Chain A
Amino acid sequence: MAAHPAAKAINTQEITDKARRDLLQLLEAVRGKKNLVLERSLAGTIGLFVKFSTLQEYGVDKVFFLENHNVDSSQRNVIFLLRGDNAKTVRTVAEQIKLVRSESKIDHEFSIIWIPRRTRVSDMVLEEHGVLGEATISELALYFVPLEQDLMSLELESSFSDLYLRKEPTSVFASATALMRLQKQYGLFPRILGKGDNAKRLADLLQRMRSEEDVNASSDPSKTYLTSFGLTPSSVVENLIIIDREVDFPTVLATQLTYQGLIDENFGISNNQIEVDTSVLGGAPAPPQQQSGTAQPPTAATKRKVPLDSSDKLYPSLRDANFATIGPTLNQTARRLQSDQQNIKQQDQSIADLRSFVSKLPSYQAEQASLKTHTGLAEEILKVTRSEVFSAMLEVQQNLLAGSDPSTVHENIEELIARDVPLKTVLRLLCLESCLSNGIRSRDLESFKRQILQAYGFQHILTLADLEKIGLLVPRESHRGYLNPIAGAAGQTATDWNAVRKSLNLWIDDVQETDPNDTAYVFSGYAPLSVRLVQCILQKSYLSGLVNTRPGSTPPTGGGWKGFEDTLTRIRGATVDVTQKGHDADASHARKTLRGSKEGPKVSVVFFLGGVTYAEIAALRFVSGQLEKSSGRRIVIGTTHVISGNRAVGAAVEKRKFVE
């Protein structure tokens, strides 16, 4: 893939490098060999920017997971590397320090590195346990971790449940801090747009932080005097678009139909990696074992980790395509590689030809290996998508998204429950219906609930209660209508999907999957609302052209949400539109001239609060590609974490059973 101009504007590589440098520096500060204790969820995140072998070079002897409670005393130095937000984690650390200290004969030297910051609560808890003085405490300001050049994630896996189930603002604050750091580096986002109540909270927090930053920056002696003028609007970033996940649950719940999306749905991508059976990758067809509805991999088989990022030869060109087109693409690639090989074998080669071939050989082999992997993966996914259950599920989903009467699909959902398909699949469909029609009729809902409890167990009373708390599965109430006069300016509490579907053209019947012309290709018909909202800002004329087919209607002009205000009032949650100016007009002007007056490529940062799906990433990349062609602009995506329907619903699903 060609280097992104946008990636140059916001250099994600820099973030990776800095994170690595900072971590290694902290490790180096502890003299000699050391044991490292990690929080399990951090292992993958750290793997994104530093290799284990590098850690070893810096004296790391053994790595333990905090959760395992097996820290031993083999090294004098013990380093804990943890997130400090959670009091429970802190408590575990304190307990382990006490344990190691009491059991071991050596006088241990403990260090704790908090990510991303040292919290007051952590100090307090450590003090309570009497270990605060025992450990050297430092912090590693790790906020955004780049997953790709155009994708930065905070990797806060719990942010969905924190935000919507527990209504905790932790991840809003973390996001604000991360975005603030971005602003410190690249200048203020000249305009902040957003949709959703949490987006509003985030935007407010950014404003507040900006005024606080003035005080902080000037009380920090290491800052240069330039900062005392305050931050000035950025010349590389055009705007920040914040999408609160709550605004668009259906997109998460729908099954993603891009290649990467389906890999995520079936294998679960975490930190750009998946874990699959070696048999899948062997290329040999897996034993023809009858699928009983669930695609459960045999547990005994050996697992292998497969990295999925742009270092792969084929993956970047495959990942965002609709899965329907993957087969042909892989075939073409296979044929091309084969003909390359034959060319070499058949024709008489001059030395020069041979040399050029040999020099290409490593890349050729890498491509071959990549082809084998992806063919294996695609076949595995195909097994699922060809299954009867999958098509039954997809039929329900597409009907709901297209706006058919939900009661027509109830029978299908009931059948799926009776057939014992995975609980999450059923819940996703029910939640999808509930979200799209602002609740399910309470009689129907009750009957579904009963069937779920019967089919999957009574422990799911808790699951259903949690889903209701999140707002994914609720009874329809009369006052949730969109024309509720009480709702007022604070924004709607419910979205009028029928109206929005029409005004933003969320459903496209004749979608082109092979050579897509609209973002709807990622769901084979449904264009994600979240992405449509971004298009409202960045592709006004395209979007309005899509809706008003009548000739003569002029596309809306102007910045921000202009032209789509009506639609926005029909979508739940507050609408954000803030323009940020520098304190000192002269200073901002001077800086602009210093930075060069020529219009560089402008970047829009799209930030998803509460997670983004791979399908949306694909759709946004598609939009970004179009923007770049027309005006040289690009999109960089930021998110709290990558989410999928199963993960969203999984936040609620009770995993325990009675009498285990």
Chain B
Amino acid sequence: MTSNNPRAGWEKIGDQFYQKVQLYESVFDADLELENYFVAGAPYGGALALWRDASKVARYRTGQSTKSTIDIYSSSGKLISNINWEKGPIKGLGWSDDEKLLVVTEDGIVHCYFGLHGDFQPFLLGHGAEEYGVVSCRFWSQGFVALLGNNTLIAVSSFDEPRPRVLAQPPEGEVHSWSLIPPAYTLSRSVEVLLAIDKTIYVVDASESEDRGLSDGPFKHISVSPNGRFAALYTEDGKVWVVGSDFQNKYSEYDSKAKTTPTQICWCGNDSVILAWEDEVHMVGPNGAAVKYYYDDQVHVVADIDGVRLITNEACEFLHKVPDPLEEIFKLGSTSAASVLVDSIELLEKKSPKADENIQRIKPNLPEAVETCIRAAGDEFNHNFQKQLLRAASFGKSVLDLYSSDEFVDMCEDLRVLNAVRDFRIGLFLSYEQYCRLTPERLIARLVNRRKYLLAIKLSDFLHLPSNKIYVHWASQKVRSSSGDDDAIRELVVERLRGKHGISFETIARAAYDEGRSHLATTLLNHEPRAGKQVPLLLNMEEDEIALNKAIESGDSDLVFFVLLQLKSKLPLATFLRTISEKPVAAALVESSARAQDQDLLKDLYYQDDRPVEGSNLLLEDAMHQPQVHAVMDKLKLAARLLTDAKDPTAIMHTRALTEATQLLKMQEAFDKEITDSSGSFLGLSINETMYRLIKSGYSKRAASVQSAFKVPEKSWWWVRLRALTAARLWGEVEEIAKSKKSPIGWEPFYNEVLGAGNTRLASSFIPKCTSLQPAERIEMWVKCGMIVKAGEEALKAKDLASLESLRDKANGQQHVEIERMLTQLRPKK
């Protein structure tokens, strides 16, 4: 990497340049027989997982344990961790975007290792994986697809909450090779699988399996480009075809002239294909031009989004297309403005006046030139050239007026970060493009997983990113690994994290709990500010009461309910009820949820709490659900019985009401038998409604019996009678009533109701009885009945001249005469 030539390792294929850069030297121990290993690399220059291929014979070496392990290395060959593996043959080994290692066994168990250090979560593929066995797997950044022995495809598209789903069933037959298009690049937004069966290729998604109708197979390899638009197919006769992933167009063809099928085919960026044999690599560019690299021993190819990592025992190399800005600047004979700008920096260092001359010449294109230089600096791996390019950019922008330096400053920061993590001790070699796609946050997460806490914190501060997660990770690690006594560790952790924002003590406490140090966990948990987070752990720790208290404190009813459901299933009922009895919120939640689904629990609750009225009300509700009148009465009886010992006024009132309700139902049942008109059953009516119905149907006697049985107040009784009679237009009975001397509701309602029913004659008969009203009101009443003369008489009695005069206007014919007569009577005699 100390070459003075910026074009070191450039190779022209077709009209494009490719560069092979050596990233790290002497990567693996020479004794490590790479040819016996499977190698899987995490995206964006991430970790490498090595697993010894059990089918190959290995040389026995002294001192090496025979235990089967999955070894995780950085790109620079530093061992990060060993994961013990004793679960049988591995059928799929791959990484997700966020460096989760996925190991799929033959019987369909997936181990999802997170954090690079052997913590894992297993899940099952199901869907017949056990029966038919997993044959192989293909991974993409957030998921994978497994191929079973019966050609069934199972897709998993999220590892946080894995839900294996079966894709459409492809046809039977040997699968020669297969690949997938990640969901982000398909039209359907769900994963599509390309299967080479017989001579053709099938495209399989969630709903259908479609034959693409090719006839040149069988294809021994299929590989899809990182952007999902192209596919490379390797035919039996050693040819590589590059086609669109929709199989509509064929772009190029290359004849490898090889006798053996390559071990691996993958894409290098989006425009060239790599064919790899044990010790030979062909790179096929656009239009079938190719270059070949030869190695002494086994080479493993790890594809990334913009290039490939080539891994041998001696070195880790990065093969990629030379990015456009670099090509523009460093290409031999380049005359671009950016190239001139870089040249002039050399001249400037030599204090040559030509530097300024050059600048003036490219002035119109200077802003673009500066930008190109900045971008090129990002793409360049060599420190010296990075500096040179940035100097050129800096020189160029100093000549420009009004130039925003943001881009320049950002690039400088990014490069410092990139150079820091590219160090062989860290071994995270990312290209600038990979860094942009990975995002700084996830880069820091990767550092944390490698336990490079100091660097992670420094970079976080440098990039203004929150560093709390790093501290939490550190603390959890500390808790896990140190063996000191609980209080010392707690003090150390708490002291170290004091004053830091947003520390999740829950995570740290969980780590302590998982190590079996529950005392430490409990004390750490007290520092957690989020009540909600404390709860699940407390439940795990069997600290039920504290968990419930914390849940209530959080105010989140979901959380309270969650705890309650857990408690209910594990505690004896009596203990459970006692636990909640002093906590009104919890009790309220239990009550309202039980009301909807678990009446028995509610009965127990009321019984234990000694709330007989509530218990009786519950039975009353039960009564309402009964379709049979006798069942209703039974329930009412039960409800009343619950209250026998209660002495408070509510209970007494309820008891009485319940007895009356039964009594009423009995009477109604009797009425139903006696009265068979079309008005329907009496059952369910209220007392007033029952009387109303009876009177309306002409059974006033029976109604009166109801009234006396339930001591219905006189006023209500009169009103019911009045309403029922007018509604039924039983005028005769109304007249009967009118003969009584006094009405407890006065006579005005009679007037109003009868008038409302349209019987003016009868209505008017009540007017003289309304003695408590003002004359003016009575006049109005007469007028409403159309009896102007009567109204006049009323006015005359009250000596109300004004009303009389206004009446004159309403009167006609004979009435007019009468009114006039009264008027003269009333007018003061002149």
Q: Which residues on A are within 8 Å of B, measured CB to CB?
A: 29, 31-32, 76, 85-88, 91, 107, 109, 119-121, 124, 133, 136-137, 162, 166-170, 172-173, 176, 201, 204-205, 208, 211-212, 214-219, 221, 223, 225, 228, 230, 290, 292, 388, 414-415, 417-420, 442, 446, 449-451, 453-459, 461-462, 465, 468, 475, 654, 656-660
Contacts and interface: CB of A to CB of B under 8 A. Distances in A.
* Most chain A CB atoms below 10 A, which of B465, B501, B626, B752: B501
Given A458-B658, A660-B627, 17 more contacts: A31-B188, A87-B593, A87-B596, A91-B597, A107-B166, A109-B206, A121-B565, A133-B163, A166-B591, A167-B585, A215-B529, A415-B715, A449-B653, A453-B687, A454-B687, A462-B621, A658-B623
Given A87-B597, A442-B649, A120 B502 contact: no
B225 interface: no
Interface in B432-456: 441-442, 445
A228 B745 CA distance: 74
14 contacts: A31-B189, A32-B207, A169-B557, A173-B558, A208-B531, A212-B530, A212-B532, A215-B503, A215-B530, A218-B501, A420-B723, A442-B649, A454-B688, A458-B658
Interface stretch (B135-143, B541-549, B678-686): B678-686
Interface in B201-244: 206-207
B657 A121 contact: no
B665 interface: yes
Contacts of B688: 418, 420, 454-456
Nearest to A222: B441
Contacts of A230: 501
Contacts of B657: 450, 453, 458, 461
Contacts of A137: 161
A590 B823 CA distance: 89
Nearest to B464: A225
B627 A659 contact: yes
B820 to A, nearest CB: 34
B252 interface: no
A455 B686 contact: yes
A246 B756 CA distance: 41
Given A136-B163, A214-B501, A215-B530, A415 B745 contact: yes
A659 B661 contact: no
A388 B752 contact: yes
Contacts of B530: 212, 215-216
B816 interface: no
B660 interface: yes
Contact of A221 (B442, B658, B715): B442
A228 B530 CA distance: 16
Contacts of A417: 716
B555 interface: yes
A659 B163 contact: no
User: Chain A binding site: helix, strand, loop or mixed by DSSP?
Assistant: helix
Please indicate which of the listed interface residues A91, A218, A462 has the most CB atoms of chain B within 10 Å of its own CB. Answer: A218
Contacts of A461: 617, 620, 654, 657-658
Given A31-B190, A170-B557, A659 B626 contact: yes
Interface of B: 161, 163, 166, 188-190, 206-207, 441-442, 445, 464-466, 468-469, 501-504, 529-532, 553-559, 561-562, 565, 584-585, 588-589, 591-593, 596-597, 613, 617, 620-621, 623-624, 626-629, 632, 649-650, 653-654, 657-658, 660-661, 664-665, 681, 683-689, 692, 710, 712-713, 715-716, 718-720, 723, 727, 745, 752, 756-757
A230 B565 CA distance: 35
A655 B444 CA distance: 61
Given A87-B597, A455-B687, A462-B617, A217 B558 contact: no
A133 B126 CA distance: 11
Contacts of A107: 166
A33 to B, nearest CB: 11
B632 A658 contact: yes
A656 B501 CA distance: 56
Contact of B502 (A91, A219, A456): A219
Contacts of B504: 215, 219
B653 A446 contact: yes
Contacts of B649: 442, 446, 475
A114 to B, nearest CB: 11
A85 B629 contact: no
Contacts of B464: 225
A137 to B, nearest CB: 8
Contacts of A656: 624
Contacts of A418: 688, 713, 715-716, 718-720, 745
B555 A458 contact: no
B715 A228 contact: no
A166 B653 contact: no
A124 B562 contact: yes
A658 B592 contact: no
Nearest to A419: B719
Nearest to B557: A170
B501 A228 contact: yes
A657 B685 CA distance: 8
A217 B502 contact: yes
A107 B588 CA distance: 41
A657 B597 contact: no
Given A87-B561, A170-B557, A228-B466, A451 B716 contact: yes
Nearest to A91: B597
Given A208-B554, A225-B464, A451-B713, A657 B687 contact: no
B502 A215 contact: yes
A172 B555 contact: yes
Given A218-B466, A420-B688, A659-B632, A455 B716 contact: yes
A417 B686 CA distance: 12
Contacts of B465: 225
A462 B620 CA distance: 8
Nearest to A162: B592
Contacts of B650: 465, 468
Contacts of B589: 168
Contacts of B745: 415, 418
A228 B562 contact: no
B40 to A, nearest CB: 25
A29 B502 contact: no
Nearest to A167: B588
Given A31-B206, A88-B596, A419-B719, A454 B466 contact: no
B184 to A, nearest CB: 13
B205 to A, nearest CB: 9
Nearest to A660: B684
Contacts of A204: 555
Contacts of A87: 561, 593, 596-597
Contacts of A660: 624, 627, 684
Contact of A658 (B502, B613, B661): B661
A19 to B, nearest CB: 21
B658 A228 contact: no
A588 B585 CA distance: 37
Contacts of A91: 597
B686 A457 contact: yes
B617 A465 contact: yes
Contacts of A457: 684-686, 689
A201 B557 CA distance: 13
Contacts of B588: 166-169
A417 B585 CA distance: 37
A230 to B, nearest CB: 7
Contact of A176 (B531, B555, B613, B626): B555
Contacts of A458: 657-658, 660-661, 664, 686
A475 B652 CA distance: 15
A218 B617 contact: no
| Highest count of chain B CB atoms <10 Å: which of A230, A450, A462 | A450
Given A219-B469, A415-B719, A465 B613 contact: yes
A221 B441 contact: yes
Nearest to A225: B464
A173 B557 contact: yes
